[in-house]
Structure 1
Amino acid sequence: MDQEQVIREAAEKFAALIREDFKRIEAIKNAPGRKDFTKLDHVTVGILPGDGIGPYIMEQALRVAKFLLKDEIAAGKVEFTTIEGMTIEERAAKNQSLPDEVLEACKACDVLVKGPFVTPRAGDPWPNLVSANSLMRRALQLYAAVRPVRIPEKGIDWTFFRENIEGEYIWGNKGIQVNDDLAVDFKVLSRPGAERICRAAFEFAKANGKTNVTVVTKANIVKLVDGNFIKMAHALEKEYPGITVREELVDSMAAKLTDQEFTKGMQVFVLPNLYGDIVTDVAAEYQGGLGTASSSNIGDQYALFEAIHGVGNFLVQHNRAQYADPCSLIRAMGEMIAHIGYPEKKQQLVDALDICTRTEKKVVITTDKDGATAAEFTDYLLDTLAK
């Protein structure tokens, strides 16, 4: 095939992607307003246990959530329902990352809490399915990944707003293999997509008495897409007096996150998708490891709360799944509880977790058999909550 023909075919594929995204952008513009979850008379919480260690830690997280919400459950205000069909075996059998009936069950809920899902990689014994997490975020328009990081002894109380749909991820499986010598992937940013994630960060800052929003990009190199992201942050800055924007490069941010002089004054962060994925994992390690961190995936009509770690294959393969740390998913439950209108119950949980994991530490999880099981730690946490 001659070079010009190759170029024409690549251009046609690119044009099809652009047409598809124009439709997506119009859908964002015409989407209904944001639902106030705190004013719902009845909230249905969908539970997706996940793969690997997921069912083990979800069992413990549910114990905590049901303890904190026992009065609301008894009054019929909150209901938990388990959504089946999302194990890797079930998804592989249907050759669907997110089976249609599972998505419909998710849409019948108000909020979701999920464990980790397997995303197959080359060499795995599964079909090469795309990420179920990404599909769920797009299908439910969960555009804001909100990740809190707290290290009280260092005075750190950060909240990260990661754009959850666009960037390098939205066309992640739609790159163009132009010929044997050239492959092209894409980074996508829409104006409505940038506005809604930046506005979410500013609204959070305003509601929580914060005065700084740090926007993290690589705009010195990725000048158009990342440059537009920064422009949006500064445009919104004018609407929020008392809140200032600070710009940082993603490599500096990752390298100096533990430098307290560098991060002095930082409170709320807003980042495009890929940078947010990386930096929040670094921040979680700084906090104490991925097992300690949670993520809230927020949209206008739905919300999903999850642990940010993987399925723990090593623990499963060594018969140690019951020793997995449930704290990340327990914290995710706390974020869900606050989101549906009970922030004081979330704070009660945060305080109890601080006692159990930082100050008192009578029961310690090591993820090995020399430490506590997830159930034993949760017993300790529930005893602490009951005091």
Structure 2
Amino acid sequence: MDALHTQAIERATKRFGELLAGEFERIERVKQGGKPKDYASLDHITIGILPGDGIGPTIVQQAVRVLECLLADQIASGRIEIRPIDGLTIERRAELGESLPQDVLDAALACDVLLKGPLVTPRPGDPWPNLVSANSLLRRGLDLFVGMRPIRIPDQGIDWTFFRENLEGEYIWGDKGIQVDDDLAVDFKVCTLPGTERLARMALNYARDNGKTTVTVVTKANIVKHADGNFQKIICDVAEREYPEITVQTRLVDATAAKLMDPDFNKDFQVIVLPNLYGDIVTDIAAEHQGGLGSAASANLGTQHALFEAIHGTAPTLAERGLAPWANPCSVIRAAGLLVGHIGFADRRALLERALDICCATERRVVMGFGDGPTSADFTDYLIETIEGLK
């Protein structure tokens, strides 16, 4: 081995050691995590609103209207406050050179729950600095360690809830990989015992509380022996010790992606738990089968905060062509429904889902990308009318 390679290895080893030291500090913080917030006992709940980029402000505005409809009595009494949070546009982030400005994070931390529109994460070739994902930084800053995504396809009997680990896996050090030299780059995958245990308990508690009997763990543990192997084993161990009434089954991620809609393969699917990267991919595939990314929502959950969002992007083509007013708001409206259920109003979330089932089955649905027909606001008018009629 020549001197240049030796020096490159020494630099990489030093950097890897620094990353591990930081991870041990994070593990200790996870171990000291507090009890989950009890929203029913709160005298005041603040809902922060982050409009986002592209079509985000348009569709989030409609979701806020739905929140105001569903929570009208709570808002009128002063128990619930809806608070806009400005300053997270890509233009401001680029100007500051910061993916997540501190004032925005501070404002988010001052809220109990948040509703967020899609944000631009710059890609090579974009006219923006190569900023780290603001979504990832929000999850880390608020310690939102679970990504929960429900998928419902009633005519196929599908009612699945995905629990994705949000803070570890391949994404935790996504911007901290090591370029060893021109020929070699290394990224990492992280799995910790306390991080996976708290994910397991949230998924298993959800199963227990919602009458689910089977939890499916999806990994590539046959190949990724340590990170995926530990992830699978930890969840199975927690279930065996603390949730003996729940059956845990395991699946490989490639087979799951290929056979997701095969009735013989998915017949026992109820609650599905995945590491970060696999969860990102498989839930997008499931959303496409549900009706497209525009139909699906996500809840990012921690013990003290929660953030609810659509799972699609900013649709820059629509925004640039002036078609944002016709963007489909259903994904972020469903996210608003998840928020309402999370803070203690499960009956009102169920009411919204009933209304969406009705409205999305009629000709007055929103078709994303067309500059004629019902607008996002028109659809929301219809949805609110339907909600009021169901009350």
| Aligned with residue 267 of structure 1, among 266, 270, 282 | 270
Report deviation, 1:361: 3.9
Deviations 1:253-299 (Å, cap 9, x if unpaired)? Answer: 11111111210011000000000000000000010000000000000
TM-score by length of 2: 0.97
| Aligned with residue 11 of structure 2, among 9, 12, 16 | 9
Query: One-letter code of the match for 1:75?
Result: S
Conservation of the 8 A alpha-carbon contact between 1:113 and 1:305: yes
Deviations 1:211-256 (Å, cap 9, x if unpaired)? Answer: 0000000111101100001101110121112211110111111111
Q: Please report the RMSD computed on the Cα atoms of aligned residues, expressed in angstroms.
A: 1.0
Match of 1:65 in 2: 67
Q: 3-state DSSP class of the match of 1:325?
A: coil
Distance 2:350 2:369 in 1: 26
Distance 2:353 2:7 in 1: 60
Match of 2:119 in 1: 117
Match of 2:248 in 1: 245
Match of 1:55 in 2: 57
Report deviation, 1:366: 4.1
Deviations 1:100-147 (Å, cap 9, x if unpaired)? Answer: 011100111000000000011111111111000000000110000000
Conservation of the 8 A alpha-carbon contact between 1:57 and 1:324: yes
Runs of 4+ in structure 1 over 3 Å off: 360-364
Q: Are residues 1:310 and 2:299 paired?
A: no
Q: 3-state DSSP class of the match of 2:264?
A: coil
Taking every aligned residue pair, what percent have the same amino acid on both sides?
58
Conservation of the 8 A alpha-carbon contact between 2:151 and 2:286: yes
Match of 2:129 in 1: 127
Match of 2:337 in 1: 334
In the TM superposition, 1:42-191 aligns within 5 A as: 42-191=44-193
Q: Structure 2: which 5+ runs fail to align?
A: none
Distance 2:369 2:350 in 1: 26
Distance 1:21 1:47 in 2: 31
Report deviation, 1:372: 1.8
Query: One-letter code of the match for 2:12?
Result: A
Deviations 1:65-91 (Å, cap 9, x if unpaired)? Answer: 101110010011110000010000011
Query: One-letter code of the match for 1:291?
Result: G
Q: 3-state DSSP class of the match of 2:272?
A: strand
- Pick closer, same or farther for the CA change 1:6–1:364 going to 2, 3 Å: closer
Conservation of the 8 A alpha-carbon contact between 2:326 and 2:366: no
Match of 1:38 in 2: 40
Q: 3-state DSSP class of the match of 1:112?
A: strand
| Aligned with residue 354 of structure 1, among 342, 352, 357 | 357
Report deviation, 1:383: 1.0
Deviations 1:14-35 (Å, cap 9, x if unpaired)? Answer: 0000001110100101122211
Distance 2:365 2:100 in 1: 38
Q: 3-state DSSP class of the match of 1:262?
A: helix
Conservation of the 8 A alpha-carbon contact between 1:194 and 1:232: yes
In the TM superposition, 1:282-297 aligns within 5 A as: 282-297=285-300
